[in-house]
Chains A and B, each alone.
Chain A
Amino acid sequence: DGGITQSPKYLFRKEGQNVTLSCEQNLNHDAMYWYRQDPGQGLRLIYYSQIVNDFQKGDIAEGYSVSREKKESFPLTVTSAQKNPTAFYLCASSSGGGPTEAFFGQGTRLTVV
């Protein structure tokens, strides 16, 4: 089945540790995105990538980093510089080249204690 796989579903980390969230897609999409979902705030864009080896900051990129070495993979690292990392993280992809439907993964719930 084609789709977007995020792993793990739940992640717990101690404060001060970096953590990497995985996102893989087999839809052959050029563009990939990371959003953060908080109650009452909707989804906010962290980073996006329109093509391999290129990515751009979204609205709330501080404290996060990404890489796009392969078309199918777009991992997100939540660094210790992110002041409020506990959240639900959603990865998405689209065929790129303009406005099209974005497909979403099932998300990773990160809890930092």
Chain B
Amino acid sequence: AQSVSQHNHHVILSEAASLELGCNYSYGGTVNLFWYVQYPGQHLQLLLKYFSGDPLVKGIKGFEAEFIKSKFSFNLRKPSVQWSDTAEYFCAVNAQSNTGKLIFGQGTTLQVKP
């Protein structure tokens, strides 16, 4: 069965530290990849997405992610985090091109200390 795995469940960083959140998926075919963020008390919103083309994609708020097909990975990065980045982050995969069904990872809670 298709699955998505996020390696870090809870990450604590100080402001200005660099961030990398791991995401691996299990599916051998074509995939579309997403990172969503859920700020406290807010709805889930899209950070960035990859469908095709340049494997390094840039999203909102200074986030970027790199798709490495050979490693089945789509890790999220940010060079310098801010207190306002405190949130829960979800990696998601769409493995059926004719629907928008998403398979989500377990989520990573990021806490940024001021």
Contact = CB atoms under 8 A, between A and B. Distances in A.
Interface stretch (A15-23, A66-74, A78-86, A92-100): A92-100
Contacts of A41: 106
Interface residues of B, number: 27
B94 A42 contact: no
B90 A99 contact: no
Query: Chain A contact residues (Cβ within 8 angstroms of B): what range?
Result: 20 to 34
B7 interface: no
Contacts of B51: 99
Contact of B42 (A44, A98, A100, A106): A106
B44 interface: yes
B104 A44 contact: yes
Given A40-B9, A42-B106, A104 B101 contact: no
Nearest to B103: A45
A43 interface: yes
A100 to B, nearest CB: 6
Contacts of B92: 43
A94 B44 CA distance: 14
Nearest to B31: A99
A59 B108 CA distance: 22
Interface in B20-47: 32, 34, 36, 42-46
